[in-house]
């Protein structure tokens, strides 16, 4: 049976490889999130007296808050990918039902769409 024969899911060994990648990215994402949160808290406790500095500080705080929010979304997507690994559904495109290529999963480990699935989904939105 060749590799190209419709394989329905990744093997347990392959899933463990992806799990290691996701756990590493998850740990890094959590560290980044905590760093962003500490910046927001530090700015809240930093007394500022000049109006211009307050404006800049508010803008920086908002930007850090948005980055923290995006980081939390990324964390949630990685955690969902871990659930898919446990369910042995990781790496299966939710549109085509085909396996997402390993190269794509290594680059975007939380991906739920193959490039083909992504294109089909975008066509359907138009």
The reply to whether 50 and 71 lie within a common domain is yes
Residue 1 has pLDDT above 70, yes or no: no
Residues 50 and 77 in one domain: yes
| pLDDT at residue 38, rounded to an integer | 87
- Residues 84, 110, single domain; the answer is no
Please indicate, yes or no, whether residues 95 and 51 belong to a single structural domain of this protein: no
Q: How far apart are CA 12 and CA 83, in angstroms?
A: 14
Give tens-digit pLDDT for 57-95.
677 788 889 999 999 999 999 999 999 999 999 999 999
pLDDT band at 124; cut points 50, 70, 90: confident
Q: For the chain, what is the domain count?
A: 2
**Same domain (yes/no): 44, 25:** yes
Is the residue at 20 inside a domain? yes
The whole domain housing 117 covers 91-126
The answer to whether position 1 is within a domain reads no
Name the pTM for this structure.
0.80
């Amino acid at each position: 049976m060749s590799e190209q024969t419709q394989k329905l899911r990744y093997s347990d060994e392959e899933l463990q490889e992806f799990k290691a990648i996701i756990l590493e990215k998850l740990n890094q994402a959590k560290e980044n999130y905590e760093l962003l949160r500490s910046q927001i808290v530090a700015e809240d406790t930093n007394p500022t007296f000049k109006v211009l500095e307050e404006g800049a500080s508010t803008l920086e705080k908002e930007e850090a808050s948005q980055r923290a929010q995006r980081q939390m979304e990324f964390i949630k997507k990685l955690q969902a990918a871990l659930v898919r690994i446990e369910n042995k559904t990781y790496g299966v495109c939710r549109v085509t039902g085909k396996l997402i290529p390993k190269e794509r999963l290594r680059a975007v480990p939380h991906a739920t769409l193959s490039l083909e699935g992504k294109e089909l989904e975008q066509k359907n939105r138009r």
